[in-house]
Structure 1
Amino acid sequence: MTSEKPLKPATVAVHAGRPPHEPDQPLNTPITMASTYVAGGGKEYGRYTNDSWTAFEEALGALEGGRALAFSSGMAAVTALLDLVGQESVVVAARHSYLGTLGVLADLEARGRIKSRLVDVTDTDEVVKAIDEDTALVWFESPTNPAMEVADIPAIVAAARAAGAQVVVDNTFATPVLQNPLALGADIVVHSATKYIAGHSDVLMGAIVVAEPSLYDVLKGRRDLTGAIPGPFEAWLALRGLRTLPLRVERASANAAELARRLAEHPRIEEVRYPGMGGMVSVVVAGGAGPADVLVRATSLWVHATSLGGVESTFERRRRWKAEAPTIPEGLVRLSVGIEDVDDLWADLKGALDGL
């Protein structure tokens, strides 16, 4: 894909990862259902490559400004990265991170593999002080899940650089439409492509995007070795979803901003956490866990579900998960705002809130 000037994300999402514009070429890369290839070329075996992954990786990499690798799930991508951390090296991570990420960190630490330091990512001074010569990796989300906190990415990157550490940013919530961590100095971006990238609650996939070729080669070798690969059909679905990512993010963001405004005025809501971008909103329901649990079961459009980033609106009380951080309020409900009509979403939500 060539152009005299950089293309905008909406254009990249539609055109990247397509077959060449030649007679009789399909507009979409066909699904390649093959585990084995004829020897003598560059493919050899289905654990190493697949045209369906390659198309998805080209499109996501173009959006993030690096080279992408597709994985079987977001957790497969997370684990591949953390497995590369050296013995007893330090990982500085945001205390409010995805539960799966925190779970892997805790498991590795319990087995003596690494040491982790959990920090408040909104306190840049605290993060910087936690990064020292023993730090191999600095890992955070922005916004964080589910606290919706925003990190000062350039400042944290600068501190990591000074210590010789690499920086991983989980960009699942913001997506490359709203934020490009590699352009802000991060070394690695990780995605649960299950969420906004695929966008239709029908795919489990993950992805890593890097700017440094040597790091790409290391991670590609790791994926080849462990086999944490997506299926061809999953990759095809994820690419199909990615084509409309900018449109979906635009609509979900507009809906989220309006709902955040209305929720802030409702007497049953103690706090609204919205970073001013994206489709994710967290609210703290007055009265704690009891009313929050009633709320998530009292709607007809909003679906009580744990995932996010789909076209439909979902929500859940996060402390229902025992591993959720105790610093997350009992009454916090995380909302993944979809692309429905905002007035319909509000009527359903307000009716449930009024009944508490």
Structure 2
Amino acid sequence: MADLTPATVAVTAGRPAHEPDQPLNVPITMASTYVAGGDVEYGRYGNPTWTAFEDALGQLEGGRCLAFASGMAAASALLDLVGQGANVVMPRHGYNGSVMALADLEARGRLSGTLVDVTDTAALHAACADAALVWIESPTNPALELVDIAGVVEVAHAAGAYVVVDNTFATPLLQQPLSLGADLVLHSATKYLSGHSDVLMGAVVTADDELYEVVKNRRSLTGASPGAFETWLALRGLRTLHLRVERAQANAQVLVERLRDHAAIEEVRYPGFGGIIGAVVAAGPDAADLLVRTTSLWVHATSLGGVESTFERRRRWKAEPVTIPEGLVRLSVGIEDVEDLWRDLAGALDRLPTTR
């Protein structure tokens, strides 16, 4: 059927044909080697379980998908797209792993990097002028800043640069960057796509056949391929993505309003959609550290996008930019009952001082 909604695509894509005695789900194919003469031959080149996941996510994003062993494996493959000494533009408040990978490549003379404040549109557009690759997060992690993707694409393409959009936070249900002109979409499938904090996986999606083949070749050469079981789990998680995102977003919007009214919170950052909130604790980093240690339902953990609610003070990581407030706590809102979440969070907040 044509013109299916994303919610329906998430449930139906990547399934076996509707034929008698066919299973409803693609089975896990545990194979490192295939009989010669076909298109796969060896386990680094393909797997039927990968294909099912890639079909589903590709349809959701509007392109062709490649599954990777982790989000960072996928990110590394994209950084490999640029030539020796080329310039990569990235948000200064981008995902810490991506920024660190860029810094490592720059330190080894492989390429140059330009970190830019994406809220400064003029500076962002100016940085695109000599870039080979423009890397966008919208919202950024953890500052939750938004970017005009279509506007950046126009400027970057005029300069001859490719545009990558990390769509991990928004998911293809809330944002489809390829439809805005982006060349490549990156996901940490560990997060919302799999949704249960039990998978390490990444993915790249593109509508450009040439880029698809280049990225696929990088995956094969570097061995950055996912396990069959992990891919099966990610596809299983993808089936409920629309329900989980809907509930997490509804919960987040309630919590945002209540956090804004709480005396222990100095600032609330929320882009207007999704399940991630940034809350700056008024009394500073020690109080923020106390907050994440004194709840019973919210879990102190670094990842996000799972069914359970997690939070952490981001500046506890040494590599986090100093422009991120020391008291900023990133909250990944799960699918629990929102009143239970608020009662647990408010109880911890009420024990905090309201000023430094």
TM range, smaller chain: over 0.9
Q: Which residue, 96, 100, 117 being the options, matches 2:97? A: 100
Q: 1:6 deviation in Å?
A: 1.4
Q: 1:122 deviation in Å?
A: 1.5
Aligned partners of 2:255, 2:77: CA distance in 1, in Å? 37
Is 1:300 equivalent to 2:281 in the alignment?
Answer: no
TM-score, normalising length from structure 1? 0.98
Is 1:117 equivalent to 2:140 in the alignment?
Answer: no
Aligned partners of 1:77, 1:301: CA distance in 2, in Å? 32
Aligned partners of 2:120, 2:48: CA distance in 1, in Å? 43
Deviations 1:38-81 (A, max 9, x none): 11111111110001111000000000000000000000000011
> Secondary structure of 1:7's match?
coil
Aligned partners of 1:193, 1:238: CA distance in 2, in Å? 7
Aligned partners of 2:121, 2:52: CA distance in 1, in Å? 38
Aligned partners of 1:138, 1:245: CA distance in 2, in Å? 28
> Secondary structure of 1:131's match?
helix
TM-score, normalising length from structure 2? 0.98
Given residue 110 of structure 1, which amino acid in structure 2 is its aligned partner? A
Given residue 296 of structure 1, which amino acid in structure 2 is its aligned partner? V
Deviations 1:308-355 (A, max 9, x none): 000000000000000001000000000000000000000000000001
Please tell me whether the aligned partners of residues 191 and 206 of structure 1 are also in contact (alpha carbons under 8 angstroms): yes
Please tell me whether the aligned partners of residues 124 and 155 of structure 1 are also in contact (alpha carbons under 8 angstroms): no
Gaps of 5+ in 1: none
Match of 1:348 in 2: 344
Given residue 52 of structure 2, which amino acid in structure 1 is its aligned partner? A
> Secondary structure of 2:190's match?
coil
Aligned partners of 1:236, 1:130: CA distance in 2, in Å? 40
Gaps of 5+ in 2: none
Match of 1:336 in 2: 332
Match of 2:262 in 1: 266
Q: How does 1:45-64 map to 2 (within 5 A)?
A: 45-64=42-61
Match of 1:80 in 2: 77
Given residue 213 of structure 1, which amino acid in structure 2 is its aligned partner? D
> Secondary structure of 2:293's match?
coil
Q: How does 1:1-356 map to 2 (within 5 A)?
A: 3=1, 5-132=2-129, 134-356=130-352
> Secondary structure of 1:344's match?
helix
Aligned partners of 2:63, 2:37: CA distance in 1, in Å? 29
Given residue 231 of structure 1, which amino acid in structure 2 is its aligned partner? G
Q: 1:30 deviation in Å?
A: 0.2
Deviations 1:109-142 (A, max 9, x none): 111111111111122111001111x310000210
Deviations 1:258-306 (A, max 9, x none): 0000000000000000011000000000111010000000000000000
Quick check: 120-129 or 304-313, which moved more?
A: 120-129
Identity of aligned residues (%): 72
The ranges of structure 1 where at least 4 consecutive aligned residues each deviate by more than 2 angstroms after the TM superposition are: none
> Secondary structure of 1:340's match?
coil
Please tell me whether the aligned partners of residues 122 and 152 of structure 1 are also in contact (alpha carbons under 8 angstroms): no
